[in-house]
Structure 1
């Protein structure tokens, strides 16, 4: 009996040592959510996503390239842009009327620059991207000089570019300081004036189209690129991305206008200029711009 009792005790001890331990209650702690990262957009109607009235759709801001970039990069968009803004108003404006803002955009409550500094400092370490598109409203008045007024148009453009450079030189270092090492992307525009080739709104449309190629390629865009790079920003040549530097001797068959230069056909598709004499991008144009921005930003 004693031997049998000892064996039972030993067996019980072995079973007790090899049995699975009781389950540990599940932890009630959760990991902290990843901090939200923001994308601050500055500029004019290209950044707000402005669209002209057409086919019963009222004019106003829609989904522009900034909305597409924010969605595809997983960033929260803070759109401080204002339709109609010039490079001077970017740093010295006094707010933005509701009709001139982007979708669900806040009132900058002062200049875009001041609002950007507040946002960037408030989200220090959580800024994923800053974009700036400005200067189109400085340059646009120069398109009114055509034909025999080519020299006047060039003189106007020279003054406009000088103004844009001076305003960017005063603005971009402030944005860079507030943004820290976050990526900043500066953009230019499609050469919308190529569309004057087929637009009845311009008596010498072909002359304006030809002039615009050198204006964007040799004057406006190099000036923008220089100022953005001084501030450690990446320059995205939207003119190139939308086919603006292609030869005007190469033609494409267009449904509305017949055989026309390929760069003109592209700008007719990517902007509203050919049909409505309006400089803003179509949805397809915003897609191209968004793709160019995303390609320039490190993932």
Structure 2
């Protein structure tokens, strides 16, 4: 399975190239303002922009409005068997929603620059809650483990309690992949949905690598080797009718352009190319090969948006909308943390909901 031919890998697409040039020009224009207002790790309190996707539920509030990480109940409780304890809000005939992946699936959020934990604000928890108002109520069983690569997902046994999502089943002595497949197989008739988000930890260091292209071209085959058999096993376990949804990530590294240095703008440019031309096409092919739906969260969070549209985001002033989206949907501009705010996880949950709850 090839992603791009060698010649294409060395070529920036016209659309991507135009976007990068526009970002560089736009950031240069607001560098002076941002340098006097605060650094790129300050809290970005966004003003009203007329876009309902911006910010948290109360427009104009800063990142501090996000709830602190708490181990809230999600309708499951830890256990050695991997079988959830039924919540009072879940009916006896409800289907299971199985979440597989890394910290995005586990619902991680920072509570400060150097601290944080998994929360029930994650997209999997929000999606399970949303399902209760549909004709397909789902009970979440979340096997995700913060920090895993695709290799760790299929080879590392167990997951530290602090890395599991709230209410997640324990699977000590088994890999996440094995535990999830066992559950899917034994509960085959009651599986309603499977989501998978993995690969971010495989490629994140490529953005800052000496040769990003060489790094990503080495990482993609590893991701493919790990994900191919996992997706095949999931499809075999659940049958052809159960929806499997695969996800990618926001391009948080666009936020580095706010620093206004040539190095930071170069890093933002690299990240856009890695998502658009490498990681996302590879994931799309992998999921499609197993009858799964791929959701491009990079696009959904505005990375390829119109940079001529500007949004007021404190303390940076007027900045291109794609970068503003990163500041308002994730903690990257505030803490340098790659994880979504609650509103960012909400956007992901809504994207899945549009596919599953038609």
Q: Same fold by TM-score, threshold 0.5 exceeded?
A: yes
Structure 1 pair 87/196, CA: closer, same or farther in 2 (3 Å)?
Answer: same
2:40 alignment partner in structure 1: none
2:341 alignment partner in structure 1: 282
Q: Distance in 2 between matches of 1:98 and 1:218?
A: 36
1:166 alignment partner in structure 2: 225
Q: Distance in 1 between matches of 2:215 and 2:92?
A: 50
Secondary structure of 2:206's match? Answer: helix
Higher helix fraction: Structure 1 or Structure 2? 1
Q: Distance in 2 between matches of 1:236 and 1:85?
A: 20
CA deviation after TM superposition for structure 1 residue 249, in Å: 4.6
Secondary structure of 1:194's match? Answer: helix
Q: Distance in 1 between matches of 2:230 and 2:308?
A: 40
Q: State the number of aligned residues.
A: 260
Secondary structure of 2:146's match? Answer: coil
CA RMSD of aligned residues (A): 1.9
More moved, 245-254 vs 106-115: 245-254
Q: How does 1:118-129 map to 2 (within 5 A)?
A: 118-129=182-193
Q: Distance in 2 between matches of 1:108 and 1:209?
A: 38
CA deviation after TM superposition for structure 1 residue 197, in Å: 1.1
Q: Do 2:102 and 2:197's aligned partners in 1 also have CA atoms closer than 8 Å?
A: yes
1:214 alignment partner in structure 2: 273
2:62 alignment partner in structure 1: none
CA deviation after TM superposition for structure 1 residue 131, in Å: 0.2
**TM-superposition CA deviations, 1:185-217 (whole Å, max 9, x none):** 0000001111111258x8711111122222111
1:131 alignment partner in structure 2: 195
1:30 alignment partner in structure 2: none
Q: How does 1:172-251 map to 2 (within 5 A)?
A: 172-180=231-239, 181-199=241-259, 204-251=263-310
2:97 alignment partner in structure 1: 39
Correspondent of 2:170 among 97, 107, 119: 107
Q: Distance in 2 between matches of 1:140 and 1:275?
A: 19
Secondary structure of 2:269's match? Answer: helix
Secondary structure of 2:189's match? Answer: coil
Q: Distance in 1 between matches of 2:140 and 2:171?
A: 14
1:116 alignment partner in structure 2: 180
Q: Distance in 2 between matches of 1:108 and 1:227?
A: 26
Correspondent of 1:82 among 130, 133, 145: 145
Secondary structure of 1:76's match? Answer: strand
More moved, 62-71 vs 105-114: 105-114
Q: Do 1:132 and 1:185's aligned partners in 2 also have CA atoms closer than 8 Å?
A: yes
Q: How does 1:239-278 map to 2 (within 5 A)?
A: 239-278=298-337
Q: Distance in 1 between matches of 2:293 and 2:328?
A: 26
Secondary structure of 2:111's match? Answer: coil
Structure 1 pair 91/205, CA: closer, same or farther in 2 (3 Å)?
Answer: same
Q: Distance in 1 between matches of 2:208 and 2:285?
A: 27
Secondary structure of 1:131's match? Answer: strand
TM-score by length of 1: 0.82
CA deviation after TM superposition for structure 1 residue 286, in Å: 0.3
Note the residue ranges of structure 2 that are not aligned, 5 or more in a row.
Answer: 1-90, 132-136
1:10 alignment partner in structure 2: none
Q: Distance in 2 between matches of 1:273 and 1:160?
A: 23
Q: Do 2:231 and 2:290's aligned partners in 1 also have CA atoms closer than 8 Å?
A: yes
Q: Distance in 2 between matches of 1:199 and 1:178?
A: 47
